Structure 1
Amino acid sequence: MYEYGGPAVESLSMPGRMTLCNMSIEGGARAGYVNPDETTYDWLRDTDAFEDDAEQFAERRQYWESIRSGEDATYDDVVTIDADAIEPTVTWGTTPGHTVGVSEPVPAPEDLPPADRAVAERAQEHMGVEPGEPMAGFPVDVAFLGSCTNARLPDLRAAAEIVEGREVADGVRGLVVPGSQRVKAAAEREGLDAVFHDGGFEWRDAGCSMCLGMNDDQLEGDEVCAASSNRNFVGRQGSADGRTILMSPEMVAAAAVTGEVTDVRNLAATPEVAR
């Protein structure tokens, strides 16, 4: 099991923590864990699970507090990461572990550990990426904002801030698929669906959709998809030749309106010309 902590993790919303824990399996863990805190308790209250039973909530909270890791807890291994030093990250290959910062160069296979080189060579051939080149500027055909991992309400809000006042680039197909019916209803109450509609996105019902090529939501041929989903294996999005680049919801929105992998930090929240 992986336990995540520190100020960067503690500042995350519950959806952000869920995404982090969801991806733990890619690192070899069976589960991911974040200690319960006020963010956890506020989220549980908002789900209405304990709306009519404050006493039960208080009892459960006492238990949850008891399972928090102590300050003197010992671990098999500890990895410290400077979150401030991480730029928007995207995948260049065919596993979630094939990642670089958006402005960083795609690694050369010979620079990777020997056990990873053959997989990297096949991945780069499939994706059509060049070692030494950054992913920024790589053209996309589809922008998929969806999956249970990265299409929760905060994700849709963040992406909508980028889309507002802009339109999906010519030749790009944009899809927004909320992570659940509850998320879809909440987003519509806030008018987020209108923002995406106005920007040229399709606003869809909740479901798996292009996360794993469900129904007709599939890539065609060797199309490139900027996706906020959590897996990018060959054929995952319905086409054996399709290419998937994983990124955050904001980065998907940026790719949709520019037509290429773009550092979202270079885009203002709303362009003045559209006001």
Structure 2
Amino acid sequence: VRVEGALAAGVYAKDVILAIINQLGVKGGVGYAYEYAGPVIDRMTMEERLTVCNMSIEGGARFGYVNPDATTIDYLRGRPHAPAGEAFDRAAAWWKTIATEPGAGFDDVKRIDGSALEPVVTWGINPEMSVGVNQRIPAPESAPEAERPTYREALAHMGFEAGQLIKGAKIDVAFVGSCTNGRLSDLRAAAAVAKKGKVAQHVRALIVPGSQQVAKAAEAEGLHEVFQQAGFQWRKAGCSMCLGMNDDKLQGREMSASSSNRNFIGRQGSPTGRTLLMSPAMVAAAAITGAVADVREML
């Protein structure tokens, strides 16, 4: 999967992988592995690449990977459990040899224009069902005939109408976290938006670091104070609302703007709850405005 061009400001790794899944489908990778490449992937940080690879399974792939390069090696250097000194140099030299060789054959090659991407939001009940933030929700008739019943089920469950703009859809809960988007860079992106205002009065907003290490690093930078001053709850590290863990669940028909990876019916704890997947920055924008918003207008 080659992502060409360059991402615009306000478009993130989460938007890239949601766009890929939208184009290839949730079954597009069944029986295969996804190799991500191209200028957009090359320029991504390791954490951004982790977001993309993390959601390969949502696209049906066995796994996703990016070839090891200088970004990989710099990220691993000096980390706990990584080799040190000459042992690291030997390991790095070997890592470079396992990159896909020039001219290698693939079962298929998909090219996506990263320059054309805008923030992406899911509207349905699986990660394939997404649109750009300024696009309209598609009609079942636009889908292959075999998928139309699922489209109708999604519209009924979500309470949306075909042709409706996703932008402006009211939310009740905002959740930044999960293994997909609970890293330090994700919290920084969300905090940059949180500085722009206060959480809407009707919105319950949760920030959940993906690990204790991330939580400590974020607190050392004062990010927790940024969120708290804006009206977000700063929670302990964990899975939280990604899968409706403990008390972190949707109630009834609540609508969630979530940076997690799955929007299946019941995923966030309520059988009638509704989930809109988006980037952490987009979640923060939705929390402040009380509805799906274009984060680019707040940067």
Structure 2: which amino acid aligns with 1:18? Answer: L
SS of equivalent residue, structure 2 residue 276: strand
Aligned to 1:143: 174
SS of equivalent residue, structure 1 residue 43: helix
Task: Tell me the distance in 2 between the aligned counterparts of 1:134 and 1:60.
Answer: 50
**CA offsets 1:179-237 (integer angstroms, 9 cap, x no match):** 11100000000000000010101101100100000000000000000000000100000
Query: In structure 1, which of residues 14, 24, 43 is the aligned counterpart of residue 56 of structure 2?
Result: 24
Aligned to 1:217: 248
SS of equivalent residue, structure 1 residue 81: strand
1:248 aligns with 2:295: no
Query: In structure 1, which of residues 63, 86, 89 is the aligned counterpart of residue 94 of structure 2?
Result: 63
Aligned to 1:187: 218
Task: Tell me the distance in 2 between the aligned counterparts of 1:50 and 1:17.
Answer: 19
Aligned to 1:4: 36
Cα distance, 1:166 vs structure 2: 1.3
Aligned to 1:101: 132
Query: In structure 2, which of residues 159, 170, 177 is the aligned counterpart of residue 128 of structure 1?
Result: 159
- Counterparts in 2 of 1:112 and 1:46: CA distance versus 1, 3 Å: farther
Cα distance, 1:26 vs structure 2: 2.1
Structure 2: runs of 5+ lacking an equivalent: 1-32
Contact 1:50 1:56 in 2 (8 A): no
Task: Tell me the distance in 2 between the aligned counterparts of 1:213 and 1:6.
Answer: 36
Aligned to 1:41: 73
- Percent identity between matched residues is 56
Give the TM-score, by structure 1 length.
Answer: 0.95
Structure 1 segments of 4 or more deviating over 2 A? 46-51
Structure 1: which amino acid aligns with 2:40? Answer: A
1:89 aligns with 2:120: yes
1:233 aligns with 2:264: yes
Task: Tell me the distance in 1 between the aligned counterparts of 2:79 and 2:295.
Answer: 31
Structure 2: which amino acid aligns with 1:63? Answer: W
Cα distance, 1:49 vs structure 2: 3.2
Aligned to 1:258: 289
Residue range with higher mean Cα deviation, 189-198 or 10-19: 10-19
Structure 1: which amino acid aligns with 2:82? Answer: F
Contact 2:282 2:295 in 1 (8 A): yes
Structure 2: which amino acid aligns with 1:74? Answer: G
SS of equivalent residue, structure 1 residue 16: helix
Task: Tell me the distance in 1 between the aligned counterparts of 2:276 and 2:222.
Answer: 28
